[in-house]
Amino acid sequence: MDFSSINWLAVVACVLASMVIGGIWFGPKTFFPIWWKAIGKADNQDPGSGTSMAMVWGLIVFSSFVQAVFMALMVNVMGGLSGGATLGSGATAGFFLWLGFVAPSSLTNKLFADRLKAWVLEAGNHLITFVVMGAILGAWH
């Protein structure tokens, strides 16, 4: 793994993009109410009740950072196979990483929890996030 090949500003941009995408996707006027019910929560139940929201958000940012770093490594490797990373090859890498790893792994968890509707909403968010992250990293290498 060549961490020196990573554009750290692009990684930060990916983390910010992930936060924006998630904020819009799971906003109160978009999919949050549907998702909240799909994971079995009551309308009157507050998100994060009993949990430190600082800890939740800290871990969300950390997770996005880890995803962006390893996405950068994969975009560089996959771009190297085709003559160099580009916006298109980065977006494609993001899609294939989502399709091959994220979607099936999370589907298994949601199937056992009988939460297929929640998976569709969560997987859609991850799909957009991974494609956008890949595009950013491919275009800004």
116-133 tens-digit pLDDT: 999 999 999 999 999 999
pLDDT higher than 80, residue 74? yes
Listed residue (2, 18, 20) closest to 85, CA to CA: 2
* Structure tokens, 18: 């992930």
Residue 123 CB contacts under 8 Å (≥ 6 apart), including other chains:
98, 102, 103, 106, 107
79 pLDDT band, cuts 50/70/90, is confident
Q: What's the pLDDT band for 110 if we cut at 50, 70, 90?
A: very high
Q: What is the pLDDT of residue 42?
A: 85
Selection from 65, 68, 75 nearest residue 141 by Cα: 75
| Contact criterion met (CB below 8 Å) for 102 and 123 | yes
pLDDT-derived band at 46, boundaries 50, 70, 90: confident
Asked if pLDDT for residue 60 goes beyond 90, the answer is yes
Q: Could you give the percent of the chain with pLDDT greater than 70?
A: 98
Instruction: Report the 10 Å Cβ neighbour count for 62.
Output: 11
Q: Which residue has the higher pLDDT, 82 or 89?
A: 89
The whole-number pLDDT of residue 2 equals 81
Note the pLDDT of residue 49.
67
Q: How confident is the model at residue 50 (pLDDT cuts 50, 70, 90)?
A: low
pLDDT at 11 over 90: yes
Position of tokens 């969300």? 60
Dihedral sign for Cα 98, 101, 102, 103, please: positive
Residues in the chain: 141
Would you say 68 and 94 are in contact if contact means Cβ atoms under 8 Å apart?
no
Give the DSSP letter of residue 102. I
Query: What mean pLDDT is reported for the chain?
Result: 92
Q: Taking the CB of residue 7, how many other CB atoms lie within 10 A of it? A: 17
